[in-house]
Amino acid sequence: MGNWKEKLQVNDLSEDSKLEMQCRKCNHVRYLTKADLIKRNAGQRHLNYIEDRSQCIVFGCKGKMRLSLTYTHKVSAFIGGIA
């Protein structure tokens, strides 16, 4: 569990994948897209790095965020195309 984040770079993400970041302290959720991260020059970063560097934006919280990947419907359409 978890080491897919060490293997996956931002550049490896599909254009429409979203990263869900949830605060471990206050449960605040925000979403990052691949484009957001490329804009911040994080394209070469692995996802565990992004997670380690993330911090809750809620004022005074600064909790660590937990990163997970959410796929859109295009992924299942792709799998359907193989079968």
**CB of residue 60 to Zn ion, shortest distance in Å:** 9
Q: Which helix (H) or strand (E) holds 77?
A: helix 73-82
How many other CB atoms are there within 10 angstroms of residue 31's CB atom?
Answer: 10
8/58 with CB nearer Zn ion = 58
**CB of residue 15 to Zn ion, shortest distance in Å:** 28
Q: Residues interacting with Zn ion, by CB under 5 A?
A: 23, 25-26, 28, 56, 58, 61, 63
SS3 80: helix
**CB of residue 65 to Zn ion, shortest distance in Å:** 8
Q: Which two tokens stand for residue 43?
A: 């394209």
